[in-house]
Amino acid sequence: MPVRVAYLQFAPEYLEVDQNLATVESLLRPVKADLVVLPELFTSGYFFRSKEDLAHVAEPIPEGTSVTALQSWSEQLGATLVAGVPERDGANLYNSAVVVRPNGRVDTYRKVHLFYEETTLFEPGDLGFQVFEEETSDGTSYRLGTMVCFDWYYPEAARTLALKGADLIAHPSNLVLPHCPDSMPVRARENHVFTITANRHGQEEKAGETLEFIGLSEVCGPSGDILERADESTDTVGVVEVDPHDARDRRINKHNDVLRDRRPEAYASDPN
Ligand code: ACM
């Protein structure tokens, strides 16, 4: 059976957690999907004016308001949800993505590659890149990897997830650089996986500086095709049926297999 995968694109309002939860709840209500990916930091907004603002909205996982809401929506929809949330763990703050299933089980990924002022606000992720075994309500199994936004800039992120067996990569995002929507088909192609990028749109300002978020959420297939793409500025849920088995045969032709033919002994792990 296919897996119905979806991205949800919207424009979170800065620090308006309750309003953002209400917006997502209404966008999710009609959705029929097995897996829905939401943007990075979907409850809080992105361009934090201070560490105090971030600390105010950061939540413990899984006890926080956002994960509690995600658990309830996941159960109602019968869908696994992947969403970006600001996490508080003791004194540390992480830019995290949670994987929430209809039975309430939660896993956490903490963003490894921090972008721009995130480097002054969050700790870099310390949980590595993880792949989770998932099952749809129809009993179809698939392997789900997670990465967050700027992780796309480092091919090692998607490659590590593919080497760990991911069929699908969920990619909650708050993209500002223009290049990601045209790069994710390459990440999908070079690793022979499906990718689901859920981006936000809109803009946020701080001290005269504006960040524009570029929308263009998309689902890419293992051949590098864009299977579904949103526009730059609309609240949208895009749903596509995919067969996870299409990601498992990683042969390019009868002589090449994209993962088997790697030559790690020829690659620099760290030139320093
Ligand atoms: C980003 O990593 N939010 C650009």
Q: How much distance in Å is there from the Cα of 113 to the middle of ligand 1?
A: 9
Q: How far apart are the first and last CA of the chain?
A: 47
Hey, how many other C-beta atoms are within 10 angstroms of the C-beta on 117? 14
The Å distance, Cα 43 to ligand 1 centre, comes to 15
Q: What is the per-residue pLDDT for 269?
A: 79
| Residue 232 to residue 223: CA distance in whole angstroms | 24
pTM of the model: 0.97
Q: Which one of 95, 121, 174 would you pick to mutate in the ligand 1 pocket, going by the greatest count of ligand atoms within 8 A of its CB?
A: 174
Question: Coil, helix or strand for 245?
Answer: helix
Question: Ligand 1 atom closest to Cα of 111?
Answer: 2
- Give the start-end residues of each E strand in the chain: 3-9, 35-37, 80-89, 92-100, 106-110, 131-135, 141-146, 168-172, 194-198, 201-206, 209-214, 218-220, 226-229, 236-242
The answer for residues whose C-beta is within 8 angstroms of residue 246's C-beta and 6 or more apart is 194, 221, 222
Q: What is the pLDDT along the chain (272 residues), one digit of tens a residue?
A: 899 999 999 999 999 999 999 999 999 999 999 999 999 999 999 999 999 999 999 999 999 999 999 999 999 999 999 999 999 999 999 999 999 999 999 999 999 999 999 999 999 999 999 999 999 999 999 999 999 999 999 999 999 999 999 999 999 999 999 999 999 999 999 999 999 999 999 999 999 999 999 999 999 999 999 999 999 999 999 999 999 999 999 999 999 999 999 999 999 877 66
Span from the CA of 129 to the centroid of ligand 1 (angstroms):
17
Please list every protein residue whose CB sits less than 6 Å from any atom of ligand 1.
Answer: 40, 115, 149-150, 174-176
- CA-based nearest residue to 245, from 122, 153, 143: 143
User: What is the pLDDT, as a whole number, of residue 146?
Assistant: 98
Q: Is residue 123 among the annotated active site residues?
A: no
The Å distance, Cα 149 to ligand 1 centre, comes to: 5
The type of residue at 39 is: P
Of 59, 87, 134, 149, catalytic: 149
Contacts of 88 (CB under 8 A, 6+ apart): 55, 58, 59, 60, 64
Alpha carbons 150 and 173: distance in angstroms, whole number: 8
d(CA 202, CA 153): 22
Which ligand 1 atom lies nearest to the CA of residue 114? 2
Per-residue pLDDT tens for 11-70? Answer: 999 999 999 999 999 999 999 999 999 999 999 999 999 999 999 999 999 999 999 999
Pocket probe for ligand 1: among 171, 176, 200, the residue whose CB has the most ligand atoms within 8 Å is 176
**What's the CA gap between 45 and 62, in Å, rounded?**
19
What pLDDT score was predicted for residue 272?
62
116 alpha carbon – ligand 1 mean position (Å): 8
Nearest-CA neighbor of 187 among 212, 170, 174, 175? 170
Q: What is the pLDDT of residue 25?
A: 98
Q: 206 catalytic, yes or no?
A: no
Radius of gyration of the chain (CA): 18
111 is catalytic: yes
Taking the C-alpha atoms of residue 236 and residue 228, their distance in angstroms, rounded to an integer, is: 11
Give the total residue count for the chain.
272
User: Are 247 and 192 in contact, with CB atoms under 8 Å apart?
Assistant: yes
Cis preceding linkage at 102, omega within 30: no
The residue nearest atom 2 of ligand 1, judged by CA position, is 150
Q: What is the pLDDT of residue 271?
A: 63
List of residues 6+ apart from 243 with CB closer than 8 A: 2, 3
